[in-house]
């Protein structure tokens, strides 16, 4: 039917529906994705969850979350943005590497033959060094991986995404051994908190959605909200810069 209509329009001298250009396809769109992580108290966060579940109130809920951050009642990570061609993939991250030792050389002990002598050592005596031999590294920050496809009209976006936020909480002292005299040898190891969401989702261009809620470790009674926004723009011709 569509082909017949186009033929008749051509015979009648009427202009084509799309001028001289062919109708848009999914490949004609650039997809933009933004991830924002907001950490709020349970008191501020819980009322927003129902609003995020209502499509007509989700944008307002995101504004309330940002307002809480601005008045000092929350913390913000991001926004982290990336873009991809429809049908493509993209990865963005804003991280800092923390490197720490996990294995150590056996230390040299002072010539002390009793716990009593250890206790009597002056406080200004240099500590027994523990030299790291094996190290590990951990990325701390916000990361986003996306695969996405836009509809032919660019109004609907289908995403497969993984959002991750890793935070460094501090150092934890761990007993690694004892000297021959019984004194404890302690090392400090890092504590991390990681929140991750992996999902497939379809949303309208320009829509904001809550994709995850994470409880922070006790006794810190806070919730972390992952807010995702996606929109499309016409894909620029080859050789032109992306918008």
Per residue of the chain (243 residues), what is the pLDDT tens digit?
444 444 444 444 444 444 555 555 657 889 999 999 999 988 888 888 888 888 888 888 888 889 888 888 888 888 999 999 988 999 998 888 888 777 666 666 555 555 555 555 545 444 555 666 677 888 889 999 999 999 888 899 999 999 999 988 888 877 766 665 566 667 778 888 899 999 999 999 999 999 999 988 776 788 899 999 999 998 776 655 555
Is residue 179 included in any domain, yes or no?
no
Sheet of 89-104, strands arranged across: 89-104, 132-150, 156-178, 184-204
> Please, what sign has the CA dihedral across residues 168, 174, 179, 182?
positive
Is residue 6 included in any domain, yes or no?
no
Is residue 78 included in any domain, yes or no?
yes
Closest CA to 136 of 183, 97, 194: 97
Is residue 2 included in any domain, yes or no?
no
**What integer pLDDT is reported at residue 43 of this predicted model?**
86
Is residue 157 included in any domain, yes or no?
yes
What is the number of domains present in the chain?
Answer: 1
Is residue 216 included in any domain, yes or no?
yes
* Enclosing domain of residue 151: 22-95+141-165+197-234
pTM, full prediction? 0.72
Is residue 178 included in any domain, yes or no?
no
DSSP 112: -
Check if the beta carbon of residue 16 is closer than 8 Å to that of residue 8: no
Check if the beta carbon of residue 32 is closer than 8 Å to that of residue 233: yes
**What integer pLDDT is reported at residue 24 of this predicted model?**
58
**What integer pLDDT is reported at residue 98 of this predicted model?**
83
CA–CA dist 39, 134 (Å, integer): 34
Check if the beta carbon of residue 63 is closer than 8 Å to that of residue 69: no
**What integer pLDDT is reported at residue 11 of this predicted model?**
45
Check if the beta carbon of residue 38 is closer than 8 Å to that of residue 76: yes
Is residue 100 included in any domain, yes or no?
no
**What integer pLDDT is reported at residue 177 of this predicted model?**
65
């Amino acid at each position: 039917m569509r082909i017949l209509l186009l033929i008749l329009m051509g015979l009648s001298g009427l202009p084509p529906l799309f001028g001289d250009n062919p109708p848009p396809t999914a490949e004609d769109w650039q997809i933009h994705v933004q991830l924002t992580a907001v950490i709020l108290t349970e008191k501020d966060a819980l009322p927003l969850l129902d609003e995020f579940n209502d499509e007509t109130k989700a944008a307002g809920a995101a504004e309330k979350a940002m307002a809480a951050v601005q008045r000092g009642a929350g913390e913000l990570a991001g926004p982290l943005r990336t873009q991809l061609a429809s049908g493509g993939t993209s990865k963005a991250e804003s991280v800092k590497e923390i490197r720490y030792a996990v294995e150590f050389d056996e230390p040299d002990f002072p010539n002390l033959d009793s716990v009593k002598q250890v206790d009597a050592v002056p406080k200004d005596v240099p500590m027994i060094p523990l030299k790291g031999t094996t190290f590990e590294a951990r990325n701390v920050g916000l990361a986003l991986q996306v695969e996405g496809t836009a509809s032919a009209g660019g109004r609907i976006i289908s995403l497969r995404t993984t959002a991750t936020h890793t935070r460094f909480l501090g150092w934890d002292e761990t007993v690694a051994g004892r000297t021959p005299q019984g004194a404890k040898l302690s090392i400090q190891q890092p504590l991390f908190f990681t929140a991750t969401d992996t999902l497939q989702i379809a949303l309208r261009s320009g829509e904001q959605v809550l994709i995850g809620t994470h409880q922070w470790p006790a006794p810190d009674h806070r919730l972390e909200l992952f807010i995702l926004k996606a929109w499309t723009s016409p894909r620029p011709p080859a050789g032109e810069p992306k918008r």
